[in-house]
Structure 1
Amino acid sequence: MTARRIFLLAVALLGMAVTAGLGRWQLARAAEKEAVLAAEQAAETLPPVDAQALLAARSAADVAALAQRKVTLTGQWLGERTVYLDNRPMDQRSGFYVATPLRLDGGGADVLVLRGWVPRNFDNRLALPQVQTPAGTVQVSGRVLTHVPSLFALGQESPGPIRQNIDLPAYARETGLPLLAAVVQQTGGPGEGLERDWPLLVSGAGTNYSYAFQWFSLCALIGGLFIWFQVVRPLRFIRRGSRGS
């Protein structure tokens, strides 16, 4: 075997190893996402948790153990701290997710609640939508989230009521509120000017399977091209030459 063929073989093997490895990594990511989705779906069937469980969840691991569990809380809305998360669609309509802190009964702790969705005013993009925030004690039912769903954003968030995302620790420092590490997504029918037709839980593993297929296809293509140009074609030329002689 000539030095050129040895070099081409090494390049082909390296390319196949890299693309096959990336394909396996995508399959592993898909398996991880499907495992997370299965755990979240199983959590929805577990008995509800209470405010004490949220108060006891100090670390990220503690909150993750409560993710998607049902919860019912009693407290008072801190309406002046309401934030409107922009660019959040629902039923193919553009609008806001409305997030308001809830001061739990007994004081000493607040929890950020995603109360629902409201359409935006396209004539005035800075106009705040009409949302009713009841005064006094309210009871809120929902499910526990580990974080506020976020979107890609450039730069830092403005401190105004309309934002792209909420970073919970930063928001706690900004407001001085004793926020819990968990977030609650309010469930139930529409009310208070809000809709609550939240997106269904999905794993997103389909994207990883698609990428895995592309990497494995590229791996096969590299191998196929090498075999064709370095093995099959030379053999065909040799056979033609032997027949011609």
Structure 2
Amino acid sequence: MAEAVASRRWRAAVVLAATLVGIGVTASLGRWQLDRAAQKEALQSALRAQATLPPLSLNDVATPPDATPAWLHRPAVVRGRWLPEHTVYLDNRQMQGPQPGFFVLTALQLEGREDVIIVQRGWVARDVVDRTRVPEVATPREETVTLAGRIAPPPAKLYQFSAQESGAIRQNLDLTQFAQEVRRPVWPVTLVQTEPTSPGAADGLLRQWPEPSVDVHKHYGYAFQWFALCALMAGLYVWFQILRPRRQRGA
């Protein structure tokens, strides 16, 4: 009899300990997701504030910007000369619809300098008959062009089978690797072009870029799931370890 009582107490202690650990872990994960949401909201506010700043002349920047909040998504203008031989078409990209196409990226050498910035020029549809055919995009070599856009990191990477890619059509663009192809210093950030090139004819590219996403709602959703799991464990413990035994004893 004493052994049975001791065994029940041991099992109850183990269940209580496991429940407390589970509640503590899930509650901590929920709070962590709320903290991440608060950080993302602060980042979103910073991005909106960046967008209200006057355009930065990249030609006057002595040191290339880096991918930090102080620089990213700030409006900018740049003057330079296209390097059309260093144009890359990023495959399997979409813009305002499910139709597959390319993001067109071209190296631009800054006026009066040796360094290069990669310009995300826009989107163009892919040839549905020959997927290896790249569209013609007007890229005048000798003209000095003025571009308006915003500072941004390189395009998001998609899954690719090979570690390194070359050629006009690629899945992703690695700026470090691309600098070896260009044989010039390449900035660690890109310019997302938002206005047509001046001077020059229309290039036929779409530039309805989506706003930078910080996924705040995702973190709130994860926090809800963790807190719900926390409440579920607490409720199950109260029911099976406290309320149900009392009802059975009172029956």
Instruction: State TM-score, norm by structure 1.
Output: 0.91
Do residues 100 (structure 1) and 106 (structure 2) align?
yes
Alpha-carbon distance between aligned partners in 1 of 2:67 and 2:53, rounded to the nearest angstrom: 20
Shift of 1:153: 3.5
Residues 144-153 or 1-10, more deviating: 144-153
1:16 corresponds in structure 2 to 23
Alpha-carbon distance between aligned partners in 2 of 1:188 and 1:155, rounded to the nearest angstrom: 34
Q: Indicate the structure with greater helix content.
A: 1
Do residues 201 (structure 1) and 206 (structure 2) align?
no
Alpha-carbon distance between aligned partners in 2 of 1:198 and 1:148, rounded to the nearest angstrom: 12
1:145 corresponds in structure 2 to 152
Q: For residue 55 of structure 2, give the secondary structure of its aligned residue in structure 1.
A: coil
Q: 1:79 aligns with which of 58, 79, 84?
A: 84
Alpha-carbon distance between aligned partners in 2 of 1:175 and 1:28, rounded to the nearest angstrom: 42
Do residues 129 (structure 1) and 135 (structure 2) align?
yes
Map 1:153-192; keep pairs closer than 5 Å: 153-188=160-195, 191-192=202-203
Do residues 120 (structure 1) and 131 (structure 2) align?
no
CA contact (8 A) 1:189 1:195 kept: no
**Alignment-mate amino acid for residue 129 of structure 2:** D
Alpha-carbon distance between aligned partners in 2 of 1:224 and 1:171, rounded to the nearest angstrom: 56
Alpha-carbon distance between aligned partners in 1 of 2:66 and 2:192, rounded to the nearest angstrom: 19
Do residues 111 (structure 1) and 94 (structure 2) align?
no
CA contact (8 A) 2:59 2:110 kept: no
CA contact (8 A) 1:157 1:165 kept: no
Shift of 1:132: 1.1
2:11 corresponds in structure 1 to 4
Shift of 1:72: 1.2
Q: For residue 124 of structure 2, give the secondary structure of its aligned residue in structure 1.
A: strand
2:4 corresponds in structure 1 to none
**Alignment-mate amino acid for residue 91 of structure 1:** Q
Do residues 66 (structure 1) and 71 (structure 2) align?
yes
1:167-199 Cα shifts (integer Å, max 9, x gaps): 212211233221122210000269302110001
CA contact (8 A) 2:100 2:125 kept: yes
Shift of 1:143: 0.6
1:211 corresponds in structure 2 to 222
Q: For residue 128 of structure 1, give the secondary structure of its aligned residue in structure 2.
A: coil
* Runs of 5+ consecutive residues of structure 2 not aligned to the other structure: 1-7
1:209-228 Cα shifts (integer Å, max 9, x gaps): 11111111111111111110
1:23-78 Cα shifts (integer Å, max 9, x gaps): 111111111222111111100101111124544236544xx412111111111100
Residues 155 and 19 of structure 1, relative CA distance in 2, 3 Å threshold: farther
Q: For residue 111 of structure 1, give the secondary structure of its aligned residue in structure 2.
A: strand
RMSD, matched Cα:
1.8
Matched length:
238
Shift of 1:84: 0.6
1:89 corresponds in structure 2 to 94
Alpha-carbon distance between aligned partners in 1 of 2:40 and 2:118, rounded to the nearest angstrom: 26
CA contact (8 A) 1:115 1:194 kept: yes
**Alignment-mate amino acid for residue 186 of structure 1:** Q
Q: 2:40 aligns with which of 25, 33, 40?
A: 33
Identity of matched residues, %? 42
Instruction: State TM-score, norm by structure 2.
Output: 0.89
Q: For residue 80 of structure 1, give the secondary structure of its aligned residue in structure 2.
A: strand
